[in-house]
Amino acid sequence: MNPFEALSRWWITAAAVVITAILLSPFYWVLLGSFMTPAELFATHIVLIPTHWAVGNWSEAWTRLWPHVRNSLIVSAATSIGTLLFTAPTAYSVNWLKPRGRQALFSFMLVTQMLPAIVFVIPLFIVFSKINLVNTLFGLILADMTFTIPFALIMLSAYMKDLPYELVEAALVDGASQLRAFFMVVLPVTLPGLITVGIFSFLIPWGDLIFALSLITEGGLQPLTLELYKAVGQYGIDWAFLLPGSVLTAIPAVLFVIGASRFILAGVTRGAIK
């Protein structure tokens, strides 16, 4: 339904572009601001384009952040893969093999979505302290998976529901085992869903602060978000470091949105509307 039937689509395009630009203007500020000196950033009059591009902000931030970027990459990739390993067979089984107790499992997943992070953070901190998982990336991965697994199972279930089960039956008739059918038929057919869920299961730990803040106190193991969080406060705010760092943190999300917006759109709306 076109809201402005009288107007040409060029006017609607113009309106949409202007509105999008306004809504994204905070990104404009952080992006160009990351190339400004603090003096320019917070001058009396607003500076829209940096007069001298302070590329040094970026190279210094990158040098300081690289070890933390690496930690974040390890944790996010492992969380994403782990989440898919745990949830893909479960989502398939729950939808098509109908194990008993599947309703209970699914309801429990929904309930955990309602619980605030603090419900998990405190027990995990206490228990992990006792079994020496505090200050390990493995502990952080396990903790992040408490966020991603319920969410991934709910989202993947919506994809698995659409699986044409005749394909699996055909494979079974041809003598394949359930396990083989799962790998050869189910996984390839639901690949778009797996990719979408995998992306989200990567981005959630990538942006996590609360678990890293509570479980990782050792500087060398801290992920990107925590290093940037620490840059605020102690000696005032080092904007020349904080702004490029903040942009850097958003890069995977931006890349995924540009590369896979169709997948993301389908994934999000599927889960909530069905």
Partner 1 sequence: MPYLFILPCVLFCLILLLYPVIYSLTLSFRQATVDTFVSGDMPFNGLTQYQAALADPVFWRAVIDTVLFAFFSILFQFSIGFLLALLFQANFPLKNVCLALLLIPWVSPVLTAANIFKGLFNEAGPINQIGHLIGLGPIPWLANPAYAFPATIVANIWIGFPFNFILLYAGMRSIPPDVYEAARIDGAHYWQRVAKITLPMLKPVSVAVLMLGTIYTVKVFDLVWIMTGGGPANATHLLSTYAYQVGFSLLNFGEAAAIATLMVLLVLLLNLVQLLLRRA
Q: Confirm or reject binding of residue 170 to partner 1 (CB under 8 A).
A: no
Compute the least distance from the CB of residue 214 to partner 1, in Å: 6
Local structure of 190: helix, strand or coil:
coil
Q: Alpha-carbon dihedral of residues 183, 195, 270, 118, nearest 10 degrees?
A: 110
d(CA 8, CA 79): 48
CA–CA distances in Å: residue 95 to residues 89, 237, 259? 10, 51, 29
Q: Which of 54, 142, 158, 160 binds partner 1 (CB under 8 A)?
A: 142
Map tokens 């989502």 to a residue.
Answer: 91
Q: Confirm or reject binding of residue 106 to partner 1 (CB under 8 A).
A: no
Could you tell me which residues come within 8 angstroms of residue 197 by beta carbon, excluding any fewer than 6 positions away? 83, 84, 87, 152, 155, 156, 159, 267
Q: Which of 134, 145, 163, 197 binds partner 1 (CB under 8 A)?
A: 145
Compute the least distance from the CB of residue 56 to partner 1, in Å: 19
Q: Which of 44, 51, 132, 234 binds partner 1 (CB under 8 A)?
A: 44
Compute the least distance from the CB of residue 192 to partner 1, in Å: 16
Residue 37 · residue 240 · CB < 8 Å: yes
Near partner 1 by CB under 8 A, which window of 49-57, 61-69, 189-197, 208-216? 208-216
Compute the least distance from the CB of residue 96 to partner 1, in Å: 9
Q: Confirm or reject binding of residue 4 to partner 1 (CB under 8 A).
A: yes
Site for partner 1 in 227-256 (CB under 8 A): 228-229, 232-233, 237, 239, 242-243, 245-247, 249-250, 253-254, 256
d(CA 178, CA 185): 10
Type of residue numbered 151:
F
Q: Which is nearer to partner 1, 49 or 273 (CB)?
A: 273
Q: Which of 65, 75, 109, 155 binds partner 1 (CB under 8 A)?
A: 109
Q: Which of 66, 108, 138, 183 binds partner 1 (CB under 8 A)?
A: 108
Q: Confirm or reject binding of residue 9 to partner 1 (CB under 8 A).
A: yes
Near partner 1 by CB under 8 A, which window of 59-67, 108-116, 163-171, 188-196? 108-116
d(CA 161, CA 157): 6
Q: Which of 54, 69, 84, 124 binds partner 1 (CB under 8 A)?
A: 124
Cα 270 off chain centre by: 17
First to last CA, the chain: 23
Residue 240 · residue 57 · CB < 8 Å: yes
Scanning 34-136, the segments in alpha helix (DSSP H) are 38-41, 55-92, 102-114, 118-130
Cα four-point dihedral sign 126, 130, 134, 139? negative
Q: Which is nearer to partner 1, 90 or 221 (CB)?
A: 90
Near partner 1 by CB under 8 A, which window of 51-59, 62-70, 103-111, 187-195? 103-111
Site for partner 1 in 67-86 (CB under 8 A): 85-86
Q: Confirm or reject binding of residue 22 to partner 1 (CB under 8 A).
A: no
Q: Confirm or reject binding of residue 5 to partner 1 (CB under 8 A).
A: yes
